[in-house]
Amino acid sequence: MTALAFPAPRRLLRSFLRAAAPALLFAFITALPAHADFRLCNNTGSRVGVAIGYKDAEGWTTEGWWNISARSCDTLLRGALVARYYYIYAVDYDRGGEWSGHAFMCSRDKEFTIRGTDNCLARGYDRTGFFEVDTGEQRSWTVQLTDTAEQGPGRTLLPPGTPPPLVPPRPGRPPTTVGPPASEGLKK
């Protein structure tokens, strides 16, 4: 009578784990909750101040200021995005200048959260031009501010007051594209 050869239990277990490890890892990663935020990365050599405008279930809101160091990022809104269009206004603290547009919303010099976009001056606020960011209804988004001088060869210089083009996002993030500032006002 001949004996049948079976792999040793350890070798069998190792073979199983090697084969199953990628599937187990994939199942673990996809089971994690999706991280969804609206972030802004300051890819300039200056410190910037940032304000954001957005529409939620209660109406229009503007908030500021996030002070973002050179070459760093910050989360402006946490959680899944609730709108397609968001509006940004940013100021370069070190060299002067701003990233602005033609979507006018309320702001002020000190930290603020302001409900509504009408009658800013009458309510004691500043009327500030924000530029539009179309997220394409993605759940998360990252805006990346760059210096005009850092745009690289082959890019056109923009007139003053126009936000510079944004650099491509990190892998795994949706594309961040901003065209010319909105001139037709705020979108729903």
What pLDDT does 56 receive?
Answer: 86
Query: At 142, which helix (H) or strand (E)?
Result: strand 141-145
Model pLDDT for residues 1-24, shown as the tens digit of each residue: 555 555 556 665 566 546 554 554
Report, as an integer, the average pLDDT of 34-61: 90
Model pLDDT for residues 158-180, shown as the tens digit of each residue: 333 444 443 333 333 333 433 32
Q: Do 49 and 90 contact (CB within 8 A), yes or no? A: yes
What pLDDT does 159 receive?
Answer: 34
Q: Strand pairing of 126-134 and 103-107? A: antiparallel
What pLDDT does 133 receive?
Answer: 95
For residues 160 and 51, the model is more confident at 51
Q: Across the beta sheet with 37-42, what order do the strands follow?
A: 72-78, 37-42, 141-145
Q: Do 80 and 125 contact (CB within 8 A), yes or no? A: no
* Burial class (CB within 10 angstroms; exposed 0-12, middle 13-18, buried 19+) of 136: exposed
Model pLDDT for residues 95-117, shown as the tens digit of each residue: 999 999 999 999 999 999 999 99
Banded model confidence at residue 70, pLDDT cuts 50, 70, 90: very high
Region class of 15: left (phi > 0), else alpha (psi between -120 and 50), else beta: alpha
What pLDDT does 19 receive?
Answer: 58
Q: Is the pLDDT of residue 63 over 90?
A: yes
Provide the mean pLDDT of the chain.
74
